[in-house]
A and B are shown apart, each in its own frame.
Chain A
């Protein structure tokens, strides 16, 4: 996600899971990822896209809360939506998500969406949305959290009746996808993954796309009928607004005959779904108040004030701020404001140069855009440079520190997760999951933990030190140069998708200039050592070259040669 994408959004959804394919989500197989899609998604054309990925930045509810905070910083006007799969216990999760300050919670049922699911996902599909929704609403009401969040439900809602039931069970918003798609001409071919959709709905093939004959009027008509039916049901039940209707589960009745006459349904007890959590009038049953996202006192307001000349007239600004570890997501609001005015281009390089001293909190520099340089003397926590979007981050230890920087951690785990552009120079060692899903950042670091460069699709990583195990798993683009002093790097790699090559001349030039920059910006003694005898040290570097990327580059070169 770039700062521009985030700034443009009305709503940002964190897809923890979709009902039809929990843990994996929509898949776009490699042969459907053409140049254009590759560009939009910041990935390598020809390499499959799986969304959502396993969220490597989310291992606990606190991590989720941090991401919600990051996104809220990156776009204050967007609602933050968290999508959860309908399953037993989803109510507890939803309560946690509400406390983590999500604005919207989406309960996704097992139905629908299965056309693009791989078999492995379908086998682990969730439960019907009715079950998860009822549980979620009841739990939120019981914990007096319901009035803070909007609850949505989806998973093959097709009729006004579906929507009415969803409203009575506690959802004030609903997702309709498959039905609308069918109205546009989808004929459930289940060939979405083959790029051969004969009605031109789910294909990138220009010939097949010509065969699409859907009409927006049909979709409008469909929704008109859908809402008309809902309105009729509401009139029958005596509701004037959806707000009145949300969570009034006692208006639902069980068709006892259906249960009694079907051998599968016999003995089914639906009362837990239809249970209405007792709540007095002080407890809201639908979204009535805004979450307190805690943005009022963040450091970024000071940054923003200092950056006014830059924002207004691109005048370079330099300033210094002390930081402590409760200063989280530094620079995101600033970047949001820059992006609003200067779009994806941002400001000219070096326009804003802020220096920080101390220990920064989580997500230092998250979603920071072009023209911003953040220099940090001290250290930083997790998610350093998350979603970095064009800015330059420089970090080195406190000048008075006595430890050896290249032997000590200076930033936390999951640095540069999903970063799309910019550069960073780190005088010290980073934690685990370094540069996961990086698609464009150029970064120099002096050692990393496990799972480095996993699912990386672009950018450069120079590692002047050791790595943990499982390096380069699922890496499909970009290049990593690793200074393999101990000679054990190959053992730490996941060789499934990468080749370990020696450096060519061009690589060596690129490496030298990056190390040179690292030396200049951080005063790194490691960089100094490497440069002191670069001709011989370059032989100890390993080039991690993803095979998919190699193939894509070769294809591009062949194309240029042909022209």
Chain B
């Protein structure tokens, strides 16, 4: 460890952000870089714990104290090597991860935790800057062909790992460009698409083939895949959004968050917002000049808030069914678990009214069938024994209208799309509708077909998707070759003789 007393001398400090009024004028990233001295200070706060809970907090098992130490010593090549050994895409997680590692940070017991996520982002950006990130040359090919369906973080991670094991990987993407939600879900101001492009280029250089506008089960027959590839990885994500079936749902102005966000990303990317191969939209969804209500208090909802503000909405309101979360950890969410505490995202900083414990009763329209207001009611939660909200009742007399011309539904995703690929393959699904494959094998009910990411585990974080892709790749490699040297959480650098 570099500095035993670093955590006593320095406190947590995040890099500066562009002022709100400035950053609202564009869609670019607005979090600045640390100075070299500040980065060193932040890295020095890591305590090199005897039991580093961050390893376990991170779904990828990132070897955090070691790369913090390397950063402290100024060895960025070493830091990148450590980071890249467990995480294929630190440039994504360094930007958009909710950082469960920081929640598990031992320093977080009684102090602000180490700024692990920012350190991660700096490592990978400095590595790119200095040319440490290079496509792997001279991969010995095994002659096995693997198809990866879906190019989100799970698919990309699986593809990168399988390719490095020597298999010839083809990634099928139904959109016009690879990346999945990284490209058409997360707004540019949180993750600039040049970052995605940079990674895709590297992967192509390493020999991975990306086939875009290729929807398996529609314009790519499932039979072709089963015939042509030795193994198939399903990483199509959990794409069916949760709907709000209340009166007025059909009104003009009620949209799913993802449709809205995707259009904006396309607009920023200079592409047509209406051409959409699998989900045609007839109109542009824009928030300019409108009273926007975002229903759902999660990260997607937050992205809608930021995007609406940038489009120039008249007002932005975010509704959440659950009560206001506590500001600090409660006995029900002790360290090192991920705490459900009140969180103010950068999009919230940019202006938005947040209301909690609100139930939407109906969408109200005008005579032209356009949305005019939301009818909402306050609710009262009653706690279960453990203190968590268990059931709710409407507060009598609190019914009211919220003026609204654009309502965005950001209430999470239910399960993957069955129609098409999954139906045609005939793989079994779980009770909730995800593809059935255990965490031990990642294998579906068809032996050569594997599943990873949200398609298997249900909606989750990017970091979990990358983890799933990596773990699944090892299982695919074992299935194809009988054994595998790919690193996973269980088998890091373990060589079988």
Contacts and interface: CB of A to CB of B under 8 A. Distances in A.
Contacts of A115: 50
A211 interface: yes
A214 to B, nearest CB: 12
A198 B110 contact: yes
B49 interface: yes
Contact of B51 (A188, A196, A205): A188
A187 interface: yes
Closest 8 CB pairs of A and B: A190-B50, A188-B51, A211-B110, A189-B50, A194-B4, A196-B4, A188-B50, A189-B49
A242 interface: no
B4 A189 contact: no
Given A196-B4, A199-B110, A207-B8, 5 more contacts: A115-B50, A189-B49, A190-B49, A198-B106, A199-B109
B313 interface: no
B4 A187 contact: no
B76 interface: no
A199 B107 CA distance: 9
Contacts of A191: 4, 47, 49-50
B7 interface: yes
A199 B111 CA distance: 10
A190 B50 CA distance: 5
A208 interface: yes
Interface in B113-160: none
Contacts of B7: 196, 198
B430 interface: no
A189 B106 contact: yes
A211 B106 CA distance: 13
Nearest to A205: B8
Contact of B106 (A187, A194, A208, A213): A187
Contacts of A187: 49-51, 53, 106, 109
Contacts, number: 42
Nearest to A196: B4
A315 B111 CA distance: 61
A377 B15 CA distance: 81
Interface in A165-213: 187-191, 194, 196, 198-199, 205, 207-208, 211, 213
A194 B5 CA distance: 9
A208 B8 contact: yes
Nearest to A195: B4
Contacts of B50: 115, 187-191
A189 B110 contact: no
For chain B, which range describes its interface: under 10, 10 to 19, 20 to 34, or 35 or more residues?
A: 10 to 19
Contacts of A198: 7, 47, 106-107, 109-111
B47 A196 contact: yes
Task: Decide if the interface of chain A is mainly helix, strand, loop or mixed.
Answer: loop
Interface of A: 115, 187-191, 194, 196, 198-199, 205, 207-208, 211, 213
15 contacts: A187-B53, A187-B106, A188-B50, A188-B51, A189-B47, A189-B51, A190-B51, A196-B4, A196-B5, A196-B8, A198-B106, A199-B109, A199-B110, A208-B8, A211-B110
A211 B111 CA distance: 9
Contacts of B51: 187-190
B496 to A, nearest CB: 15
A188 B7 CA distance: 17
B374 to A, nearest CB: 45
Contacts of B111: 198, 211
Contacts of B8: 196, 205, 207-208
Interface in B4-57: 4-5, 7-8, 47, 49-51, 53
A190 B47 CA distance: 10
Most buried by A among B7, B53, B110: B110
A184 B85 CA distance: 36
A205 B4 CA distance: 13
Contacts of A190: 49-51
Interface in B88-112: 106-107, 109-111
A190 B4 CA distance: 12
Contacts of A211: 110-111
A187 B50 CA distance: 8
Contacts of A189: 47, 49-51, 106
Contacts of A213: 110
Most buried by B among A188, A198, A199, A208: A198
Nearest to A185: B109
B442 to A, nearest CB: 25
Nearest to B50: A190
A207 B53 CA distance: 23
A519 to B, nearest CB: 54
Contacts of B110: 198-199, 211, 213
Contacts of B4: 191, 194, 196
A115 B8 CA distance: 22
A187 B47 CA distance: 12
Contacts of A208: 8
B151 to A, nearest CB: 40
Most buried by B among A191, A205, A213: A191
Nearest to B49: A189
A207 B8 CA distance: 9
A207 B7 CA distance: 12
A144 B106 CA distance: 52
A208 B4 CA distance: 13
Contacts of A199: 109-110
B421 to A, nearest CB: 41
B397 to A, nearest CB: 44
Interface in B431-471: none
A395 B352 CA distance: 91
A187 B51 CA distance: 7
Contacts of B106: 187, 189, 198
Contacts of A205: 8
A196 B4 CA distance: 7
A351 B46 CA distance: 60
A191 B47 CA distance: 9
A470 to B, nearest CB: 35
A46 B106 CA distance: 29
A213 B329 CA distance: 15
A398 to B, nearest CB: 61
A205 B51 CA distance: 21
A269 to B, nearest CB: 29
Nearest to A187: B106
B44 to A, nearest CB: 12
A211 B8 CA distance: 12
Contacts of B107: 198
B84 to A, nearest CB: 27
